[in-house]
Amino acid sequence: MRKAFLYSSFILLGGAALAASTLIYGCGGKTSNTTQLTGDTIADGKHLVQRHCTRCHSLVPVNALTKDVWTVHTLPAMAGYFSIKTYSAEYYKEEGDTTGLSLLEWQAIASYYKKLAPDTLLPAKAPAVLSKDWAGFTLRKAARSNDISFTTMITANPATGKIYSGDVVSGMLTEWDNKLKISKSINLPSAAVNLNFLPDSAGIKQAIATCIGRLDPIDFPNGRVFKVNLGPKLTTSQMQSELPRPVQTLSADLDKDGNAETIICSPGNLKGGVYVLKQDPKTKSYKQTAITERPGAVQAVTGDFNNDGFTDVMVLYSVNDEGLAMYLNNKKGGFDTHELLKFPPVNGSTSFQLADLDHDGDLDLVYTCGYNFRDSRILKPYHGVYIFKNTGNFNLKQEWFYPVNGCSKAIAADFDGDGDLDIATIAFFADMKNNPAEEFIYFEQDKDLHFKPHAIPVSKNGRWMTMDVNDVNGDGKPDILLGNYASGFLFQPNFSPNWDENTPFIVLENHIKK
């Protein structure tokens, strides 16, 4: 009998995203001089926050959190990283009384937030009202299980339409037939959170399964990646082990030798990185190198971003120093880092996609943020889906925002066949108590960067942690798969869920008429 699978912290999976704290881990490096305080609460606090906090992450606006959250959760957590011992011992991170921040300076910072932070956060005003309809989609449900569903991955083989799922409690990688019944499965050492299909001349017969190890964000590197043979029987062979909570793999020929390397996003906790596995053609063993050892990498995409003929990598970071970074291939086995965007650590970045939304030939950015199960479990008006226009050379300018509480993933595709891209979003930390409709939204683009949002009525069918878009039924139209992580991680008081807990996933078949 399976019970609610709870952790003190939590990761969003399947191209989605990892737990993002309201505070930065690893802050509090030593500084040599203290600040001469003036006694002006606002001036002193503003100066100190700019000086100390932004050394590790983007500035968190004082009105990004409520007064209660700042004083009860955020400031106590932050104090430990400066060795300010005014709170519980659980926050003490190193010996010694200070790391360059005096107790008086800390008190000035605390007073600043207490004085200026709001009592409540007002919800953001949406640019368009949700239409509650099916928008041309029809619902299909996977075969029900006797157990609670804890689906951590849902994806479809683009060559065959066959569906694969992962489950954190059973540890099974499961293949489903066209009637959405189990056809075969194999046990893995931990939950599969990503399946990277490997096309060859005969179609797709292999994939790489990413097994996260521990879900909760601790520095315990027991994640693994496996090559999976997708034949009459599922079989696996291990490629790498002892990885810090890997969540995604990609395949790309980085050195132009004709063989694809495997890129791994391993966000870890305080320790993580983006790694490359290269196979020795003679011994068949793998050598691991690092593009970066920066923790928090939740998603990556590859492409020739500077048009020099070599494959580059773009990475979204969702913990510690949140942001989007581009790693340009230097053609010598390494990469040059370019920071494209920085986000404050309250964003809880969850996913991104590059797509030409305005038909100008440049790849724009679709970005989501909404992780909401750590220090500040309140609804945040800046959570949602964003579009950043690429004005050239990946200079990104925000053009559009739609507020979605707890938004965890967005996928852009031409669902209605009119030649422009629409967007599907899921929100694992939606306002389930007051607005469950925002758990899944289909944004129909009816003119350039103008979207009509449809709240497809599926909130009672599950709670969607993971999403994929693929042509499942072979009719040439992109369908939507939603994976149900049905129990746990409730963050709203006085709320009892009433969704289906026993259906592992659903399919929204696309029957939109052009």
Q: What is the CATH number of the domain that holds 281?
A: 2.130.10.130
- Which residue, among 149, 138, 28, 144, has the nearest Cα to 91 in the 3D structure? 28
For residue 413, name the pLDDT band (cuts at 50, 70, 90). very high
Contact 43, 292 (CB under 8 A): no
Given a contact cutoff of 8 angstroms between Cβ atoms, the answer to whether 50 and 44 are in contact is: no
Per-residue pLDDT, 300: 98
CA distance 284 to 272: 25
Query: Which token pair is 132?
Result: 């509650």
Which residues span the domain enclosing 104? 41-116
| Overall number of domains in the chain | 2
In this prediction, residue 77 has a pLDDT band, given cuts at 50, 70 and 90, of confident
Specify whether 412 is located in the same domain as 293. yes
- Give the count of beta carbons closer than 10 Å to the beta carbon of residue 413: 18
331, 310 contact by CB (below 8 A): yes
Q: How confident is the model at residue 76 (pLDDT cuts 50, 70, 90)?
A: confident
- C-alpha to C-alpha distance for 236 and 313, rounded to whole angstroms: 27
Give whole-number Cα distances, 275 to 53, 188, 244, 297, 306, in Å. 29, 22, 11, 10, 21
pLDDT tens for 14-61 read 333 333 333 333 354 444 456 788 988 899 989 999 888 887 888 899
Radius of gyration, CA atoms only, the chain = 23
Please tell me the predicted confidence (pLDDT) of residue 45: 87
Residues β-bridged to residue 12? none
Domain boundary among 92, 116, 140: 116
User: pLDDT for 352-400, tens place per residue?
Assistant: 999 999 999 999 999 999 999 888 899 999 999 999 999 999 999 999 9
Q: Which of 54-58, 196-200, 494-498 has the lowest mean pLDDT?
A: 54-58
Residues 332 and 455 in one domain: yes
**Going by C-beta distance under 8 Å and a sequence separation of 6 or more, which residues neighbour residue 399?**
364, 387, 388, 389, 449
Is the pLDDT assigned to residue 264 strictly greater than 50?
Answer: yes
d(C-alpha 209, C-alpha 230), whole Å: 11
pLDDT tens digits, 436-487: 999 999 999 999 999 999 999 999 999 999 999 999 999 999 999 999 999 9
The DSSP secondary-structure symbol of 348 reads -
Q: What's the mean pLDDT when you consider all of the chain?
A: 90
Residue 5 lies in a domain: no
9: confidence class by pLDDT, cuts 50, 70, 90: very low
Helical spans, DSSP H, in 296-447? none
59 plus 168 within the same structural domain = no
Residues 317, 207 share a domain: yes
- Asked whether 372 and 348 are in contact (CB, 8 A), the reply is yes
- Which pLDDT score, from 0 to 100, does residue 184 have? 97
Q: What is the pLDDT of residue 96?
A: 41
State whether 65 and 160 are in the same domain.
no
Which band of pLDDT confidence, cut at 50, 70 and 90, is reported for residue 85? low
The single residue listed with the structure tokens 């996977």 is 142
| 54, 155: one domain | no
Q: What is the CATH number of the domain that holds 90?
A: 1.10.760
Q: Where are the alpha helices (DSSP H) in 103-201?
A: 103-116
Q: Of 116, 143, 172, which residue sits at a domain end?
A: 116
Rounded distance, CA 247 to CA 295, Å?
12
> Which has the higher per-residue pLDDT, 265 or 79?
265
Share of the chain above pLDDT 70, in %: 90
